[in-house]
Structure 1
Amino acid sequence: MALLPQEIIRRKRDGATLSDDEISAFVRGLSSGAISEGQVAAFAMAVFFKGMSRDECAALTRAMTNSGDVLDWSDLPGPALDKHSTGGVGDTVSLMLAPAVAACGGFTPMISGRGLGHTGGTLDKLDSIPGYVSQPDNALFRKIVRDVGCAIIGQTANLAPADKRFYAIRDVTATVESIPLITASILSKKLSAGLQGLAMDVKWGSGAFMAKSDDARALATNIAYVAMAAGLPTTSLITDMNEPLASVAGNALEIRYAIDFLTGVRREPRMYAVTVALAAEMLILGNLADDIDEAEQMIDRAFASGRAAEIFGRMVAGLGGPADLMQRPDAYLAKAPLTRAIPPAANGRVTAIDTRGVGLAVVALGGGRTRADQTIDHSVGLIELAGLGDEVGPDRPLAIAHARDEADLARATEMLLAAYVIGSEAPTRAPAIVERIVA
């Protein structure tokens, strides 16, 4: 008997639990175009208000995964592992984490996205490297993963194509924030990548999509449990995004920051803590370490020995970038024509940061998008961003802006000043790692 899309929508609208067959039928229609945009929107709104059980969410995840290609990494001599972040400002973790895990025997075929809104995209950062092929063919992708241990690229057209259509409709119908739909969207792409383990970084705070800790916890828990039910061992970490994770935000500037981190020039404590914690979870999931202490020590050694830096350099060269990027980054990374310090509106200590506002200041400089089809200026951004509790004044600006012209600089300055609250006492700072959730 045919499963009519309007009947599936009606049942979910009325709060019923959908069967695997009903969910699979709906996703098939979503993929083929047999189900109209209006029906997809109605289904999304029904789920938004009525929710989904974890079993339903797992069925939706599996169906969207199977709507396109599923990569197979069974020929690798080690586990295929990855991490995913829900997005933030100054989050450069992937660039350091992938080579560190590779240095410890894991393989990281990382499929990343571009930035949209206030969050920066890993793919945009890598596109600031001259020659880097961020969307290689499958043969080159597999070769670099096998030979180097990691490759960070963009999503191919036929990985979870049902999710691509579903997300586009959710984006214009105010249904993006549904926890079951976020979960299925993230995990369908990760399952299609053929992974054996996933470390999930769920951000919370003023710069996160989940601004409330309870919402972040609900999403992190749902992802961990649904991933396990769908066959992907996953650990979720809730991490703090009430301030930029790094003191840098902007594409080429973040590549420079990552190179400094990998080569040991500068490793800021919060960035180091989050990177090591997520990488350690990947080693545990891949059975490359027996416990967290051992895993963290392995990642520490990967950085201290220079192996992670070496592997990152090899990955860049293998994907078309400069062979000596690690040694001469300033010879290749674009530089903005205008550099200027942004002083605070008043002297004192940073008591709060609207981190989303900081990200939007980077967008105002031209370093981000307000529409998916926009081009960006890889050279612009902010460095030396003040963090919570920092004392700012004549000798310590809020940030140093890299801009292409005075008009962009003026817009970004206004936005950055609005994003910082200055007072007399240092606030209590949240830990970088807030909570660990295992299914």
Structure 2
Amino acid sequence: MAIEPFDVVDLIHTKRDRGALSTAQIDWMVDAYTRGYIAEEQMAAMTMAIFLNGMERSEIRDLTLAMIASGERMNFDGLSKRTTDKHSTGGVGDKITLPLAPLVASFGVAVPQLSGRGLGHTGGTLDKLESIPGWRASLSNEEFYSQLENVGAVICAAGSGLAPADGKLYSLRDITGTVESIPLIASSIMSKKIAEGTAALVLDVKFGSGAFLQDINRGRELAETMVQLGRDAGVATSALLTNMNVPLGLAIGNANEVRESLEVLAGGGPADVTELTIALAREMLTLAGKPDADVEAALKDGRAMDTWRAMISAQGGDPAAALPVARETHVVTASRSGVLVDQKALPFGIAAWRLGAGRARKQDPVQHAAGIDLHAKPGDTVTEGQPLFTMSADEPERFERALEALEGAYRIGDAGDEVFTGGPLIADRIG
């Protein structure tokens, strides 16, 4: 048996006592954990030490590179198109990937969007798309590259071979209270995205009540860290810092978010969803060498919708098929006339999750028709008895717990009262 070059307990002591780990120590730690030499409880102690004491920039870079090295790296050199990708840190009603990928691809660039499933109140892109009859998330490498070349956009499940160390570490963080660590979030996201092999990457980093990191300054720190990690790895990277205090759009769920995405692709849809889709598309296309692309025109003239239909069809889906509809609905109306002055994102995300739109465990199924459709947003005038939102579920007994989550989540005030949105939708650009 080979003698290990380091002792994991020594490394834990170093981080516990606010020291820095060397490149060699981090490389060994990630490799030893991936092959099972370092025990789960030892890595749990390490992640808590990192959560409490942080990491230096050089350590975060080394951790990211070590996780990339734990598995495969994709290569798009054989494509005739430049690649550009986007990652969102997730939020309530965040369906932007759905209209964004075909919109960007309609300009002749390739969008290899490897996505995931939801856990907790943030819905997963694959869960949304699986509400389309026939659509499949798993593609062979041959199908993936062929679709990228011929259609331009692919949204599918990431293979287990990309950054396996991150997959193992993420599962551990999820059950040890160490998810909200900037070094661990940044290295997790960027190890997968860099391993994907994209030439350019735009990050949508959320802040506010429905985001991982609610404080805008913590969101900015995460964005700056990830942009630097991308650039260190030779990936053209930028980030938008975006507001998740209020749900994005009017649909929260799976099938209803697909419906709303189709409205955007048809040149309509809620103003905030359209604004963010266009802003991210411009960022992606600028990094891909097409700064003058007229993205609004591609939504209006049908090019983006044509690419959507081709993308869905290529993965077995029927873009013309009816989307699932829930068996039961419950409408909540305004208790008084006035102005909707507050609508907190997180409680609406939790309520949609309780209705069946999300999952508590990775193996749980989602109900594709479950969710919430909003009929008013902050700043809108409402009258007594007017519908504020409609909840949908297959089992009516879910409504009570969803309503419990929404106690105090929205408020009707008087004309002239301050309306809380947490500021503009796009707070800053980094990079």
The TM-score normalised by the length of structure 1 is 0.93
Moved over 6 A (4+): none
Equivalents in 1 of 2:337, 2:402: separation in Å? 20
Residues 123-154 of structure 1: CA deviation (Å, up to 9, x unaligned): 10011111111112221111111110010011
Given candidates 403, 406, 412, the residue that maps to 1:416 is: 406
| Unaligned 5+ runs, structure 1 | none
- After TM superposition, list the pairs within 5 Å mapping 1:32-431 onto structure 2: 32-264=35-267, 266-289=268-291, 294-295=292-293, 298-322=294-318, 325=319, 328=320, 331-394=321-384, 396-424=386-414, 425-427=417-419, 429=421, 430-431=423-424
Residues 59-106 of structure 1: CA deviation (Å, up to 9, x unaligned): 111110111111111111122111111111111110011011111121
Equivalents in 1 of 2:336, 2:271: separation in Å? 27
Equivalents in 2 of 1:391, 1:118: separation in Å? 28
- Measured after TM superposition, the shift of residue 426 of structure 1 is 4.7
- Measured after TM superposition, the shift of residue 10 of structure 1 is 2.0
Equivalents in 2 of 1:38, 1:241: separation in Å? 34
Q: State the Cα RMSD in Å.
A: 1.6
SS in 2 for 1:249: strand
SS in 1 for 2:429: strand
Q: Greater shift after overlay, 202-211 or 413-422?
A: 413-422
Query: Percent same amino acid at aligned positions?
Result: 40
Amino acid at match of 1:273: E
Residues 344 and 413 (structure 1), Cα distance of their counterparts in 2 relative to 1, 3 Å cut: farther
Given candidates 19, 24, 27, the residue that maps to 1:24 is: 27
- Measured after TM superposition, the shift of residue 417 of structure 1 is 4.6
Q: Greater shift after overlay, 307-316 or 252-261?
A: 252-261
Residues 290-311 of structure 1: CA deviation (Å, up to 9, x unaligned): xxxx34xx21122122111100
Instruction: Answer yes or no: is the 8 Å Cα contact 2:112–2:154 preserved in 1.
Output: yes
SS in 2 for 1:436: strand
Structure number having the greater helix percentage: 1
Equivalents in 1 of 2:52, 2:406: separation in Å? 36
- Measured after TM superposition, the shift of residue 219 of structure 1 is 1.0
Instruction: Answer yes or no: is the 8 Å Cα contact 1:59–1:230 preserved in 2.
Output: no
Equivalents in 1 of 2:300, 2:312: separation in Å? 20
Instruction: Answer yes or no: is the 8 Å Cα contact 2:261–2:269 preserved in 1.
Output: no
Equivalents in 2 of 1:82, 1:378: separation in Å? 26
Q: Greater shift after overlay, 408-417 or 67-76?
A: 408-417
The TM-score normalised by the length of structure 2 is 0.95
Amino acid at match of 1:272: T
Residues 346-393 of structure 1: CA deviation (Å, up to 9, x unaligned): 432222222110011111211111222211110111113421112233
| Unaligned 5+ runs, structure 2 | none
Residue 426 of structure 2 is aligned to residue 433 of structure 1: yes
Residues 15 and 75 (structure 1), Cα distance of their counterparts in 2 relative to 1, 3 Å cut: same
Q: Greater shift after overlay, 342-351 or 75-84?
A: 342-351
Equivalents in 2 of 1:346, 1:338: separation in Å? 25
Residues paired across the two proteins, number: 425
Residues 3-33 of structure 1: CA deviation (Å, up to 9, x unaligned): 2222222222222222211111111011111
